[in-house]
Amino acid sequence: MTPTVPTVLVLDADPPPRLGRLTGRARIVHTDAAHLAERLPAADVLLVWDFTSHAVRGAWPGGGPRPRWVHAASAGVDHLMCPELAASDTVVTNARGIFDQPVAEYVAALVLAVAKDLPRTLEYQRERTWRHRETRRVAGTRACVVGSGPVGRATVRALKALGVTTALVGRVPRTGVHGPDDLDRLVSRADWVIAAAPLTERTYRMFDARRFGVMQPSAFFVNVGRGDLVDEEALARALARRWIAGAALDVFAAEPLPADSALWELPGLIVSPHMSGDTVGRRDELGAQFVEFYERWAAGRALPNVVDKTRGYVPGH
């Protein structure tokens, strides 16, 4: 009798993951959001390949068995968590480790581009306008990085390499990491404020009107964490009133950002389409990571990147 292999249900996005290495060791079933609920009971493992989908939240509370393990091919898991999943025995893991350096490089690129006024240089080039300006030194400026996970720590390393004095803020204070009580003081002194925290009840819209009001008029704000870390209306007012010098958002409360959103044309705001961690070859990296995790899971070994479902992120940072 042929041994039964575990069923891996993949919530697809285009292109789908390459899981050829699991041939003969897993039964791969692909699904879209519309059929997720009916296929969940037969799955041993759920791979949430579509990091933009919220379908798991709606499908999970139904009847019948549920997968023993859910893996998100993303750093954030807020898009799939629901009370029923949080309360279950199902293990949830994420793609921690894939996006850290790319996001840090993106933040460093933004800092350099803003300090060296590259957006206006390109604009003047299109206009065939020769306009000499002086730009800012990056070395010697200060940054406050909010979020002490792998992305935040990689961002600190990248900024330090540019000569930026950095302060890292996390959920709890410890060696090399400031706690939340220090945030306002650090933000008020920073030239660059970087949001790289996970989305939780404690971090929801932590960057609001009061916090933008604390920042220096010369400060530049960057969000590469989650869209709902920021009160977008408060940010728009802060930019319009010149409470801060500018901002860059790579993540938004609603994605894709609607074409009629005022954020597209807000003076001083750089908009990018949730791409800071997306580098050439990253899908292959994500697929290889899942295969590696699956091999550990199938062998009965402990899984890496286990998410604390009550906190919403991998603890230990």
Alpha helices in 137-281 (DSSP H): 150-161, 183-189, 209-214, 232-240
Backbone angles phi, psi at 287, to 5 degrees: -65, -45
pLDDT for the residue numbered 316? 74
Backbone angles phi, psi at 175, to 5 degrees: -55, 120
Residue with tokens 């493992």: 45
Catalytic residue (one of 66, 226, 232, 283): 226
Catalytic residue (one of 255, 295, 296, 301): 255
How many whole angstroms separate alpha carbon 184 and alpha carbon 182?
6
State yes or no: is 274 an active-site residue.
Answer: yes
pLDDT for the residue numbered 3? 59
Q: Which residues does the chain have with pLDDT short of 50?
A: 1
Catalytic residue (one of 66, 79, 153, 274): 274
State yes or no: is 255 an active-site residue.
Answer: yes
DSSP 68-129: SEEEESSS--TTT--HHHHHSS-EEE--TTSSHHHHHHHHHHHHHHHHTTHHHHHHHHHHT-
pTM over 0.85: yes
Query: Residue 69: which of 279, 304, 316 has the closest Cα?
Result: 304
If phi > 0 it is left, if psi is from -120 to 50 it is alpha, else beta; for residue 310 that is alpha
Mark 6-34 as b/e (b = at least 16 C-beta within 10 Å).
bbbbbbbbeeebebeebeeebebebbeee
Instruction: Compute the half-sphere exposure of residue 152: CA atoms within 13 Å on the CB side of its CA.
Output: 25
State yes or no: is 38 an active-site residue.
Answer: no
pLDDT for the residue numbered 317? 55
